[in-house]
Amino acid sequence: MGGGGRGFGGGGRLGIGGILVLVVLSLIFKKDLVSDAIGLGGGGSGEQPAAESGQRPPASSSVHEDSLVDLMSAVLDSAQNNWKRLIPDYTPAKLVLFRNEVRTACGSAESASGPFYCPGDRKVYLDLGFFDQLDRQFGAPGDFAQAYVLAHEIGHHVQNLVGTERKMRAAQRDNPSAQNRLSVAMELQADCYAGVWVFTAAKEGILHAGDLDEGLGAAAAVGDDRLQKMASGRVNRDSFTHGSSADRRTWFKRGFDSGDPNRCDTFAEMR
């Protein structure tokens, strides 16, 4: 829920869903499973074919899943049409829906990695099972909470197209001590970009009562502080990679209130 890579947000990191599951398992088995799992390179067995651009993936189906695929297709079209208006040379991303495991230009990913964007192939990858986890485990139900997730990942695609992702990675290499701070800025900007789309969605009359609250709730549900408290009961701000619940809500709301991506310069405000 996260710049250029894996996770409910960025590239090459284990996603929020995977981190939370591994943290819990680490506490149970008294073994650092998180460190072992960081980095999802290489291919695995048992991969199931993925479906692109809103097509339902193969294997089992359900009415619930079909409606979810329809929702993701509609959000994808709406969000990308909005960015086409804002960025004249915008190149659309592709959406890949999968179960269990999928191969990407960023390596092989399992469903535990959560939603992510891969800058190498300019595709957003969504495991449909994550949305059940978003509802049951993170306490963020509703179709607009799901829409926020996809809008956030499209925000990472925008960052890739305009060069923000490349500059951020270079800055992290040049200043390793600022890696987490830069990662947080990247994720919060994607939240703000998601809000920019919601601004347009509201103008087009496709928001319903409670939709904005669902989006804000999803943003807050995946804040680093909340996930850390759920996993260990403690909060360590120095280890944040996506931002606090309050920060994620704030930047999502800023994008929604302004509808202007120029108001989403998280890097300037976090220097």
pLDDT at 75: 92
The beta strands (E) that lie in 8-110 are given as 51-52, 94-98, 101-104, 107-110
260-264: long-range contacts at Cβ-Cβ below 8 A with a sequence spacing of 24 or more? 260/196, 261/86, 261/158, 261/192, 261/193, 261/196, 263/192, 264/189, 264/192, 264/193, 264/196
Least confident of 108-122, 129-143, 174-188, 237-251: 129-143
At 163-191, the pLDDT tens digits run 999 999 999 999 999 999 999 999 999 99
Whether 91 has a pLDDT exceeding 90, the answer reads yes
CA 152 – CA 254 distance, rounded (Å): 14
Judge contact between 151 and 9, C-beta under 8 A: no
pLDDT at 210: 77
Q: Tell me phi and psi for residue 96, to 5 degrees.
A: -115, 120
CA 216 – CA 194 distance, rounded (Å): 11
Judge contact between 258 and 199, C-beta under 8 A: yes
Confidence of residue 52 (pLDDT cuts 50, 70, 90): low
Confidence of residue 51 (pLDDT cuts 50, 70, 90): low
Instruction: Choose from 79-83, 129-133, 213-217 the range with maximum mean pLDDT.
Output: 79-83
Please name which of 193, 137, 139 lies closest in space to residue 3, comparing C-alpha atoms. 193
At 221-238, the pLDDT tens digits run 767 777 777 777 888 878
CA 43 – CA 168 distance, rounded (Å): 27
Q: How far from chain centre, in Å, is Cα 122? A: 14
Share the mean pLDDT of the chain: 76
pLDDT at 145: 78
Instruction: Choose from 40-44, 132-136, 192-196 the range with maximum mean pLDDT.
Output: 192-196
Predicted model pTM: 0.76
